[in-house]
Amino acid sequence: MQVTVSELRAVSEQLFLHLERKGYSSVELSADYYWNIPKELRYNPYEEPKELDLGQLTDDWANLCNVLEGKTDPLGYALVWLSTVLRAVGETVIE
């Protein structure tokens, strides 16, 4: 599977517009900690993961805010932090 950055940008914009049309200008996330499957095991459907670690949405969000405010440079790994926050938003706003 190959995705383009322009496609990712376009679908993201559609989804954010959808939230705004539904009346959301912010989303309250009640959970903070989440289970994470290490990258080496996440995409191997032939082996059940036995190792989990914890992630924290507030840490991920703080890292993203640092990028937004110019305190740290943008880097590709920031998409991982963004993905955890977006997952939590998507699981909270089910419409």
**Structural domains in the chain (count):** 1
In a domain, 83, yes or no: yes
**What is the pTM (predicted TM-score) of this model?**
0.90
Confirm whether 59 is domain-assigned: yes
Q: How many CB atoms lie within 10 A of CB 39?
A: 8
Q: Give the SS3 label for residue 29.
A: coil
Closest to 83 in 3D by CA, of 40, 41, 36:
36
Domain residues for the domain of 46 are: 28-92
**Residues 16-69 pLDDT 10s:** 999 999 999 999 999 999 999 998 899 999 999 988 999 999 999 999 999 999
- Check residue 94 and give its pLDDT: 81
Q: Please check whether residue 17 lies inside any domain of the structure.
A: no
In a domain, 32, yes or no: yes
Contact in structure between 64 and 78 (CB atoms under 8 Å)? yes
pLDDT of 31-42, one tens digit each? 999 999 998 899
Residue at 9 is within a domain = no
Evaluate whether residue 62 is within a structural domain.
yes
Give a yes or no: residue 80 inside a domain. yes
For residue 15, what are its two tokens? Answer: 């989804």
Whether 82 maps to a domain, the answer reads yes
